[in-house]
């Protein structure tokens, strides 16, 4: 039974990623269409340009979302001196039959980690230096196994695509709106056009952010915790790591990429219904029941 | 008009054909996974054997009167390299690991050896290999479980019979277990 649901999870992630790309493409193309309608004389040129932009946006997003995510948290490739880090991941890839992901680190005192990429062959694991310094071997392996499970069931593809494709729209629209705010007194056709695009973006941006939060279901975290234990056969490792994480202070991370981490780096405890991660206490309980 | 009975027969035949192909591929994929995980155990045991000469030459510089212990390691390494099938390889690997452990225990009495950079690195590397052997054995047995499940459960067992696929044996040699601390909640 468990096997079947695992493969279902993979195909669901692949399908969702495809649907997401299609929707993003359509939204961008529709935006181009609106602009083109307002500028009848250049209709075809604007339409062609907007379709080219939309296609390149989703293609660049698909092939580079991992790099964008890594750059956004200022991560760099892990030096070979982190022997424990490399050895643990190598061991876990043997336990799971996965190819070796690229290893990255980010300078930060908080214990946290995330995985990204588009499939197991093109995958990356990134941990904070805080995690490498403050977790013992078993705890670190628990966290790394959790990230490897996100890789093995293609969560990384859907999660990263959602964060980047949708997130970028939100960022672009925010920048656009801000610039609109400063030159608000334009008149004539151009001004009206900008206003309409501005309003469209103003509607899209918050919806986009909400979509990111909703799409990245909190069930994924429970599932990844469960298969992490299947790899390590040692629940206390991950449990103790989660306990240490629970005692940590929040770090600065953008709203967009926060959904990728093993635990919400922003630590919004009150915002339970809309948060991207289940409460750590619930996850520990679930792990103890195994 | 083609009679409806023919259409039904053709559809049924297509389904049976698809099932035949599906199970053929499934057994091949799962079988290959077993072979591959077996090779991984082999790779790790080989790496362990490769590190031994380096370790011994380091240890010999500090330890003078323990040649029996060192010989034991050399013998175990030879046995591992000579082993043919996986069962004897894993067994020899276990023996080598036990012999290595006594060397590391011995190092406790030689502070200079314990402080040696090269020795420390080898110790860490061999400990990592121990984990990796355990992990690859775990994956090997997991792969066998998956394979056996598909060979034994219905309707896989019918196809397994046709393709001559039989259940495979788990590795039953005592685990060279990863050292896991006991934890109380």
Q: Catalytic residue at A81?
A: no
pLDDT score recorded for residue A164 = 84
**B114 has a pLDDT exceeding 90:** no
Question: To which H or E segment does residue A169 belong?
Answer: helix A167-182
A234-256 b/e (C-beta count within 10 Å ≥ 16 → b):
bbbbbbbbbebbeebeebebebb
| Mutation to test the A interface, candidates B48, B132, B147, most A Cβ within 10 Å | B132
φ, ψ (nearest 5 deg) of residue A261: -75, 160
Percent above pLDDT 90 for chain A: 37
The percentage of residues in chain B with a pLDDT greater than 90, rounded to a whole number, is 34
Average pLDDT of the segment spanning A85-97? 94
Q: A96 and B185: CB-CB below 8 Å? A: no
Residue A156: pLDDT band (50, 70, 90) is very high
Residue B175 has pLDDT above 70, yes or no: no
A→B contacts (Cβ < 8 Å), by residue, are: 3, 83, 87-88, 90-92, 94-97, 138, 233-234, 236, 239-240, 288
**Cβ partners under 8 Å of residue A18, min gap 6:** none
Residues of B in contact with A90 (CB under 8 A): 128, 132
Express as a percent the part of chain B with pLDDT over 70.
Answer: 92
Optimal mutation site among B120, B135, B182, interface A, most CBs of chain A within 10 A: B135
How far is B58 from chain A, CA to nearest CA, in Å?
A: 21
The token pair that represents A4 in the structure block: 């079947």
Structure tokens at A244: 């240490």
Mean local confidence (pLDDT), A1-7: 58
Q: What was the pLDDT predicted at A18?
A: 92
pLDDT band at B27 (very low <50, low <70, confident <90, very high): very high
**Does B18 have pLDDT greater than 70?**
yes
Range with the poorest average pLDDT among A157-166, A186-195, A240-249, B45-54 = A186-195
Q: What confidence tier does A28 reach under pLDDT thresholds 50, 70, 90?
A: confident
Q: Which of A139, A141, A147, A221 is catalytic?
A: A147
Q: How far is A92 from chain B (nearest CA, A)?
A: 7
ipTM: 0.81
> Residue A183 forms beta bridges with which residues?
none
pLDDT grade for B178, boundaries at 50, 70 and 90: low
Strands A113-119 and A102-106: unpaired
Which DSSP category does A59 fall into? Answer: H
Contacts with A92 from chain B: Cβ below 8 Å: 135
pLDDT of B69 higher than 80: yes
Residue A149's pLDDT band (cuts 50, 70, 90): very high
Are B45 and B85 in contact, with CB atoms under 8 Å apart? no
């Amino acid at each position: 039974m468990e096997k079947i649901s695992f493969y279902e999870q993979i195909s669901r992630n692949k399908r969702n990623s495809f649907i997401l790309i299609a929707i993003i493409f359509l939204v961008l193309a529709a935006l181009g269409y609106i602009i083109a309608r307002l500028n009848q004389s250049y209709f075809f040129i604007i339409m062609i340009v907007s379709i080219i932009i939309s296609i390149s946006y989703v293609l660049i997003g698909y092939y580079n979302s991992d790099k964008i995510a890594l750059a956004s948290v200022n991560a760099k490739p892990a030096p070979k001196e982190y022997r424990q880090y490399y050895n643990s991941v190598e061991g876990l890839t043997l336990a799971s039959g996965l190819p070796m992901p690229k290893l990255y680190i980010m300078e930060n005192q908080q214990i946290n980690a995330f995985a990204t990429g588009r499939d197991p062959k093109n995958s990356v694991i990134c941990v904070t230096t805080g995690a490498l310094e403050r977790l013992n071997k078993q705890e670190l392996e628990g966290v790394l196994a959790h990230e490897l499970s996100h890789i093995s069931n293609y969560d990384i593809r859907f999660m990263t695509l959602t964060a980047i494709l949708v997130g970028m729209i939100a960022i672009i629209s925010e920048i656009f709106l801000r610039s609109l705010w400063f030159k608000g007194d334009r008149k004539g056709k151009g001004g009206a056009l900008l206003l309409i695009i501005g309003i469209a973006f103003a509607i899209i941006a918050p919806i986009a952010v909400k979509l990111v939060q909703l799409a990245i279901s909190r069930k994924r975290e429970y599932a990844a915790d469960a298969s992490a234990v299947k790899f390590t056969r040692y629940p206390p490792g991950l449990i103790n790591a989660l306990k240490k994480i629970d005692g940590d202070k929040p770090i600065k991370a953008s709203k967009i990429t926060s959904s990728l981490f093993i635990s919400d780096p922003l630590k919004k405890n009150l915002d339970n219904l809309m948060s991207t991660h289940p409460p750590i206490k619930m996850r520990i309980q679930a792990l103890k029941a195994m | 008009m083609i009679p409806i009975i023919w259409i039904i027969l053709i559809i049924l035949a297509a389904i049976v054909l698809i099932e035949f192909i599906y199970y053929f591929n499934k057994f091949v994929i799962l079988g290959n996974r077993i072979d591959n995980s077996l090779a991984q155990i082999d790779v790790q045991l080989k790496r362990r054997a490769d590190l031994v000469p380096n370790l011994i030459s380091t240890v010999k510089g500090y330890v003078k009167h323990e040649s029996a212990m060192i010989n034991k390691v050399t013998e175990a390494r030879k046995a591992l390299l000579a082993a043919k099938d996986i069962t004897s390889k894993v067994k020899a690997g276990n023996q080598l690991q036990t012999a290595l452990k006594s060397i590391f225990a011995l190092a406790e009495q030689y502070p200079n050896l314990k402080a040696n950079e090269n020795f420390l690195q080898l110790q860490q590397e061999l400990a990592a290999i121990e984990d990796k052997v355990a992990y690859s054995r775990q994956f090997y047995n997991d792969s066998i479980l998956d394979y056996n499940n598909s060979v034994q459960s219905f309707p896989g067992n019918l196809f397994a019979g046709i393709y001559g696929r039989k259940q495979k044996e788990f590795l039953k040699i005592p685990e060279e277990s990863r050292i896991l601390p006991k934890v109380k909640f």
